[in-house]
């Protein structure tokens, strides 16, 4: 297959691309705007230089582009001729959405609408045989469902939408657009809603990498409110495998909820990280004998959801996907990755990753 991944320099998008390049012979084109969260160094160079064994064509290509740029994306579709689009480009940080919601509406709602129209017109121009196998996968979040009480049933594909933040409202809007394009135009769409991801190459503003890196630097480990908010944690490489399974084997028009079956309170996550670091790091910051000493409770986030939990039985039963990592095995791997890869996260914290770009591929110059 030839696959375009939007947002492929982001956390989940780069994991998808690494999975494709490591485990398939598919060709992939990374279409990313390279905002603050986009980091091309999240896809190692040895993977980006691979070539197709039969044709000699590059297995990976990169185009710098905005999902709101209809002219560029249309030109890309017509020249690259993809068999599928995996749409992961999005503004995704709740705190940033509270401070500046308009950007989230522009990217997540207007940008998704733009992609749908560009892709639909491209799909209509395809020969019937290819048209029947084309897929548009929209990757969304469990946050569109709102939150749960401790004794509520888990989210499923039919849970009503009740978003709480500008971020989750913008993703809910994009989900509705994708379903509408499927219903109105017969466009071959798929939707996934995932739980909280974690793992290697995670941007440091998110909870788990933020806690790991603050701890290593002897900085406070901030905990919103009482820290008892519950999230279902999904290792990012498991999610990447699930997404490729859905785009290749999922039924058109269907939604699949993807979770790790690992519900944890935020404070449990933070103390787990502290415990692992206590075991693995002998040279602790000055005055610290236990990383848990750095835990600091701060004012809660406005509208903070209490609990998320995903019922992933549909994808397990129909597509035979299940996560490989438990939370304990995944968090051990994640902490170890950050210990082993200081160059990556130090370049992110310093901002140097934004100064060294791999460049827009030669392919871009022909569009």
Q: Which residues are catalytic?
A: 142-143, 167
Do 5 and 17 meet the contact criterion of CB atoms below 8 Å apart? yes
Q: What is the DSSP string of 123-153?
A: HHTS-HHHHTT-EEEEEEEGGGG----TTSP
Distances (CA, A) of 358 to 33, 61, 367: 13, 11, 18
Closest Cα partner for 92 from 139, 59, 24? 139
- 102 vs 91, 117, 170, CA distance in Å? 11, 21, 10
For the chain, what is the total number of helices (H) and then of strands (E)?
14, 12
Can you read off the two tokens belonging to residue 333? 């791997």
Contact 307, 152 (CB under 8 A): yes
Beta bridge partners of 139: 192
């Amino acid at each position: 297959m030839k696959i375009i991944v939007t947002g492929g320099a982001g956390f989940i998008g780069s994991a998808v691309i690494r999975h494709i390049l490591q485990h398939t012979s598919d060709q992939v084109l990374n279409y990313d705007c390279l905002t603050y969260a986009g980091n091309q160094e999240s896809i190692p160079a040895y993977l980006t230089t691979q070539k197709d064994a039969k044709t000699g064509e590059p297995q990976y290509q990169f185009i710098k582009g905005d999902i709101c740029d209809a002219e560029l994306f249309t030109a890309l579709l017509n020249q690259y001729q993809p068999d599928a689009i995996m749409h992961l480009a999005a503004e995704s940080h709740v705190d940033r959405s509270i401070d500046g919601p308009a950007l989230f509406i522009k990217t997540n709602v207007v940008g998704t609408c733009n992609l749908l129209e560009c892709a639909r017109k491209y799909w209509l121009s395809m020969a019937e045989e290819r048209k029947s196998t084309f897929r548009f996968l929209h990757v969304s979040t469990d946050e569109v469902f709102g939150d749960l009480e401790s004794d509520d049933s888990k989210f499923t594909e039919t849970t009503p939408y009740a978003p709480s933040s500008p971020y989750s409202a913008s993703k809910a809007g994009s989900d509705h657009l994708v379903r509408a394009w499927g219903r109105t135009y017969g466009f071959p769409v798929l939707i996934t809603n995932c739980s909280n991801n974690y793992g290697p190459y995670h941007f440091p503003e998110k909870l788990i990498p933020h806690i790991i890196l603050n701890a290593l630097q002897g900085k406070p480990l901030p905990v919103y409110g009482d820290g008892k908010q519950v999230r279902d944690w999904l290792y990012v490489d498991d999610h990447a495998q699930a997404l490729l399974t859905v785009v290749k084997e999922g039924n058109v028009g269907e939604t699949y909820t993807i979770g790790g079956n690992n519900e944890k309170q935020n404070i449990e996550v933070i103390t787990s990280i502290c415990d692992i670091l206590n075991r693995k790091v002998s040279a602790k910051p000055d005055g610290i004998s236990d990383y848990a000493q750095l835990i600091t409770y701060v004012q809660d986030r406005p509208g903070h959801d209490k609990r998320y939990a995903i019922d992933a039985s549909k994808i397990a039963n129909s597509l035979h996907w299940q996560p490989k990592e438990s939370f304990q095995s995944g968090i051990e791997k994640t902490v170890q990755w950050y210990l082993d890869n200081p160059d990556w996260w130090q370049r992110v914290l310093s901002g140097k990753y934004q100064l060294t770009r791999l460049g827009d591929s030669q392919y871009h110059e022909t569009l």
